[in-house]
Structure 1
Amino acid sequence: MKVVILGSGVIGVTNAYYLAREGHEVTVIDRQPEPALETSFANAGEVSPGYSAPWAAPGIPLKAIKWLMMKHSPLVIKPSLDLSMWAWSLQMLRNCTPARYETNKGRMVRLAEYSRDAIKALRSEIGIQYDERSRGTLQMFRNQKQLDAAATDMAILDRFGVPYELLDREGCINAEPGLIHVKEKVAGGLRLINDETGDCFMFTQTLAKAAEAMGVEFRMGVNIRRLITDQGNISGVETDQGVITGDAYVMALGSYSPLLLKAVGIKAPIYPVKGYSITLPVVDSDAAPVSTIMDETHKVAITRLGDRIRVAGTAELAGYNTDLNESRRETVEFVVSDLFPKGGDISKTEFWCGLRPMTPDGTPCVGATKIPNLYLNTGHGTLGWTMACGSGRLLSDLISNKQPEIDTEGLSIDRYAA
């Protein structure tokens, strides 16, 4: 079967690899000159199935109000008349109930755990390297209230058999020795021991070369204009370089997916949530992070990537604006300086932003659509790197008419119709 994949981020490239492995003829198209130059370029570097959780959670509406008044806020909302933003926000608020949170987190953990196993298998298959480390994620709490609230997540982790450790201050410092310099700021933490880290850009570019060696064609620098329909199916993709055709089509354009889907009658509740990161060189390895620390107060992740530190965070609702906001730089710089003041050289940071494709319930849209030959692999939010291999493998199985290795309940866009 000839499969056309729209998008060459980590989602599109992993899907291309698994489809090629099944013997399909695969073409990937993207406007960028190389794979992984947008949202996959400088993300937090986490492969964190244990930390997979929807932003829509009980108590979030009240927290959001408090966040908006913080100097270094995890949330920024730009005043806008964008109706899609407000509709998406209302859908998200509807998911902030205990029952929906448990359902949504369960779906996300199921896919993320499968994905983590898939990336391990992939390392064995092709020996791919990407500054990877398997040292876990430490969700760090600055106060007792945050520590107490972890009980809800631990119950869900128990239900899915996800191993973790609840740590006191000394336990956190044993896991991340660099925190010894700021131990008074640490109340405790939840350590997700099977989580991993790595450079998503390096991974995606390397896997793209492996996929190309298997016969995948990458059509780069191609601007996609629209999907062409004929008698209820997709008959081609209109681009600025002509029409590209296939037997099946995979939408993996992240935040831009809804713009093309709307024209073919599919309403995908995916909204771009802008995130920022800085990357800085390590100057003192003993005072730098070992793996990933998630600062629960500021919702900022600090990740070790070889001889670099990646610091990522902030959720900014500003539509498709990709301008770099200096005040957001101040937030991520503050957190890394506050927790690892001697670890990296803050004067040599590289500043970046990307648009995370968020669904209102946190779970991506992976699966078939009402159009028989159109499939979705999009809406992964902050967890595209975490869920990429599992999503690509699962969708490859569906397209190949094979039984997926995990339960697909609640993963397709059909859940919104329900």
Structure 2
Amino acid sequence: MARSIIVGAGMVGLATAWHLQERGVEVTIIDREGVAAGSSWGNAGWLAPAKTIPLADPSLWTYGPKALIDPDAALHVPVRVDVNLWSFLARFAAHGTQRAWDRAMAALTPIDRLALQSFDELIDGGVESSTHEGPFIIGFGHARHARGFMRDVAGVIQHGQSVHVERLDDPRALAPQLSSQIGAAYRMDGQRFIEPGPFMHALAESVTARGAEMRMGLEVSAVDSSSRPSVMLSNGETLTADSVVIATGAWMPRLARVLGVNVPVQAGRGYSFTVDTDEPAEHPVYLPTQRIACTPYQGRFRIAGTMEFRGPDDALQHRRIQAIVNRVRTLMTGVDLDNRHDEWVGSRPVTPDGLPLVGQTRAPNVYVAGGHGMWGVVLGPATGKLLAERIVTGRTDPAIAPFDPLR
């Protein structure tokens, strides 16, 4: 029986393992901490292909400079000498054009269209969890603030997705957490959400029940492909297999750079916390102007935001949590923002061109899967399925062809 080693127990790594098992491959999963220890746990859990769009767009040139001097801005770049960071930011900003946005959106659309059915496939195949239907409630201080959001929706539709958005007369009927400061609101249908932690652990349990070996608490120090692919572990052990998949998110360059993957991957850190609400939260809420995403989560309301360009192992910055609180305080009501639970930071792997890195490295039978930016959860199952096909059959599905890690 063929054997594969998956480095990384986030959504992408676990989904790849599940689909390799579907094709008869025996898998070992290694993670330095545990299941969903990175950016897969504390995110908003949105399965929203209509918002799975390139991060860099033309608004970056007006919003970015203002963000650098606003301590509460959603975009945060620490002021320090870091040649690699500033080089990445220059390349990222260069993609903030309409032409680059359209090019990246055209590349993302085929896998966006597979995203929801890929979750259904996991659940139908025995993953004991569920997805939840919207609607998503989109709130603005004034109707004129919705222009950028509606422009993005129009762009997504132009590239081949079906998106339904309509104006709401009474947004509080669906999202009582919104205050009277929300002057215009819309509902977006056809999207879903999950509770990320429970879903991730259900996926891990399914993979384990099918015979996977889970090696948690061990770090992979190197990947060798001089003969048969092998990984060297922090405890001195060496494991060999027929294939190796590096799915370590923002930490991917540590193993993949020497394998010819030279596209920069920068940690774009996101923060979240959960709060109690006076009335139950039933639907996701999005505040595009503030770049805040909220989701019902285990009886509370998860509030997530910020794109902080720091090192993936840097400590949680409490000022970023406070910045989120400051941005939403007047826009929400009946929400206990001062009694926060599960304050969290996770490092999302961002590439300059906004496209993931999925495919074979220069080393035979050694693959990478990551670089999804904010979209690792929603695109993880589809990525895992198509990469498993590539590993077993050698065929590259057109939906992941633009994500060549050697580009």
| Maintained 8 Å contact 2:273/2:344 | yes
- Taking the TM superposition and a 5 Å limit, the aligned residue runs for 1:33-44 are 34-44=34-44
Stretches (4+) displaced over 4 A: 171-175, 402-406
Cα distance in 1 for residues equivalent to 2:152 and 2:395 = 30
| Maintained 8 Å contact 1:197/1:291 | no
- Percent identical pairs in the alignment equals 24
**Which residue in 1 is equivalent to 2:220?**
224
Q: Identify the range of structure 1 (298-307 vs 334-343) with the bigger mean alpha-carbon deviation.
A: 334-343
Cα distance in 1 for residues equivalent to 2:234 and 2:65 = 44
Cα distance in 1 for residues equivalent to 2:90 and 2:35 = 34
- Taking the TM superposition and a 5 Å limit, the aligned residue runs for 1:349-368 are 349-368=341-360
Given candidates 264, 268, 279, the residue that maps to 1:269 is: 264
Does residue 112 in structure 1 map to residue 106 in structure 2?
no
Give the secondary-structure state (helix, strand or coil) at the position aligned to 2:62.
helix
| Maintained 8 Å contact 1:274/1:322 | no
Query: How far apart are 1:328 and its partner, in Å?
Result: 1.1
Give the secondary-structure state (helix, strand or coil) at the position aligned to 2:252.
helix
**Which residue in 2 is equivalent to 1:185?**
182
Aligned CA distance change for structure 1 residues 236 and 62 (closer, same or farther; 3 Å): same
Query: How far apart are 1:244 and its partner, in Å?
Result: 1.1
Query: How far apart are 1:91 and its partner, in Å?
Result: 1.4
Give the secondary-structure state (helix, strand or coil) at the position aligned to 1:267.
coil
Query: How far apart are 1:283 and its partner, in Å?
Result: 3.7
- Runs (5+) with no aligned partner, structure 2: none
- Supply the AA of the counterpart residue of 2:214: F
Does residue 18 in structure 1 map to residue 19 in structure 2?
yes
| Maintained 8 Å contact 1:254/1:357 | yes
Does residue 198 in structure 1 map to residue 170 in structure 2?
no
| Maintained 8 Å contact 1:45/1:305 | no
Q: CA-to-partner distance for each residue in 1:323-375, whole Å, 9 max, x for gaps?
A: 12221111222344333320456414221111111111222111222222111
**Which residue in 1 is equivalent to 2:139?**
140
Given candidates 213, 237, 249, the residue that maps to 1:254 is: 249
| Maintained 8 Å contact 1:169/1:183 | no
**Which residue in 2 is equivalent to 1:386?**
378
Q: CA-to-partner distance for each residue in 1:27-70, whole Å, 9 max, x for gaps?
A: 111111x3112221211121111111111101212211112233
- Supply the AA of the counterpart residue of 1:106: A
Cα distance in 2 for residues equivalent to 1:254 and 1:234 = 24
**Which residue in 2 is equivalent to 1:310?**
302
TM-score normalised over the length of structure 1: 0.90
Q: CA-to-partner distance for each residue in 1:101-144, whole Å, 9 max, x for gaps?
A: 012123223223312111022222325225x4211333433334
| Maintained 8 Å contact 1:57/1:96 | yes
Give the secondary-structure state (helix, strand or coil) at the position aligned to 1:309.
strand
Q: CA-to-partner distance for each residue in 1:231-288, whole Å, 9 max, x for gaps?
A: xx66311112311111111110001101111233331311111111111234421xx3
- Runs (5+) with no aligned partner, structure 1: none
Query: How far apart are 1:171 and its partner, in Å?
Result: 6.1
Cα distance in 1 for residues equivalent to 2:103 and 2:374 = 18
- Taking the TM superposition and a 5 Å limit, the aligned residue runs for 1:272-287 are 272-285=267-280
**Which residue in 1 is equivalent to 2:238?**
243
| Maintained 8 Å contact 1:50/1:109 | no
**Which residue in 2 is equivalent to 1:370?**
362
| Maintained 8 Å contact 2:46/2:192 | yes
Give the secondary-structure state (helix, strand or coil) at the position aligned to 1:58.
coil
Give the secondary-structure state (helix, strand or coil) at the position aligned to 2:202.
helix
Cα distance in 1 for residues equivalent to 2:398 and 2:224 = 32
- Supply the AA of the counterpart residue of 1:44: A
- Supply the AA of the counterpart residue of 1:257: M
Query: How far apart are 1:404 and its partner, in Å?
Result: 6.3
Aligned CA distance change for structure 1 residues 3 and 140 (closer, same or farther; 3 Å): same
- May I ask how many residue pairs the two structures share in their alignment? 405
TM-score normalised over the length of structure 2: 0.92
- Supply the AA of the counterpart residue of 2:222: R
Aligned CA distance change for structure 1 residues 237 and 212 (closer, same or farther; 3 Å): same
Give the secondary-structure state (helix, strand or coil) at the position aligned to 1:222.
coil
